[in-house]
Amino acid sequence: VVRKVPAADHVVNYAMNLVRQTRLLDKAAQVPDFVKTYVSWGAGPRACQYLVLAAKARAILQGRSYASTDDIRAVAGPVLRHRIITNFNAEAEGLRPDDIVQRLINAVPVDEHEAERSGKLPKIFKSANIG
């Protein structure tokens, strides 16, 4: 049931942007300075899949038939916290992965039309029924 819940392109793109900006070696992502300072290893590609899946599950629990960027934000901590490995700088300042995720949520803007303009939305998230 959860997998059939639709997520608009901008919702999936927002999830991809959140995850990509945790990866220091991703040349295409504009990694924020705080990630460069505090993260030694970022979330992998499966993190994005599970972020969207968790957002869809949350949407159902909230009584909605679609996932939103608010759902992505709400589940980002639980989905990403164990996928982000912080470094000594973060530990010295008392920052946990949840703190990094919250900063990412605050730093990554939602662009409802970016996915449409770029045409780079992966087919992996699209339903087989949708052309």
On the 0-12 / 13-18 / 19+ scale of CB atoms within 10 A, 13 is buried
* Model pLDDT for residues 31-88, shown as the tens digit of each residue: 999 999 999 999 998 999 999 999 999 999 999 999 999 999 999 999 999 999 999 9
35, 21 contact by CB (below 8 A): yes
Q: Is the pTM of this model over 0.85?
A: no
In terms of CATH, what superfamily is 2-109?
Magnesium chelatase subunit I, C-Terminal domain (1.10.8.80)
Query: Vertex 117, ends 69 and 34: CA angle to 5°?
Result: 50
- How far apart are alpha carbons 72 and 92 in whole angstroms? 29
